[in-house]
Amino acid sequence: MAVYKVVLMGDPILKQKAKPVRKINDSIVRLLDNLRDTLIKYDGVGLAAPQIGVSKRVIVVDTDEEYYELINPEILEAEGEESAIEGCLSVPELNGQVIRNARVLVKGLDRQGQEISIDAEGVAARAFQHEIDHLDGILFVDRAEWVVKRE
């Protein structure tokens, strides 16, 4: 497939609410493949379609233990609280301390259009929240308690 350049903070697409996917077709499947290839190239944990310039509600998450693809993801349940340092491929020069839910139940569609639910904790829960924020035009720096320049 293709590796895309990651859109950086300051690009207006990162502050817009992404459009829902109405129909899963070849272009959406290609988008999933391109997100995966781009995520691998940049060695990230997650990537949302707006980060490669596409205003669609599509994300991929790779925790090393599990790889997820979600179309039109939603958080159905959230509980607990954890604070951790986050970074972002779209904000490569900064890290920040962000409070997120410790556990989330996420629902969405897979590439075949089947509804799936994922009960996630730890890194996966944090990554789903981070990527779904991207779909709503929210960057981690918008939620951060503090931000520092990466060394």
* CA 100/CA 43 separation, integer angstroms: 22
Contact 139, 91 (CB under 8 A): yes
Q: Which member of 77, 81, 86, 131 is catalytic?
A: 131
Q: Which two tokens stand for residue 45?
A: 């944990």
| Residue 69 is a catalytic residue | no
Only one residue has tokens 């693809």, namely 69
The secondary structure of 12-47 as a DSSP string is GGGGSPPBPP----HHHHHHHHHHHHHHHHHT-SEE
Active-site residues, by number, are 131
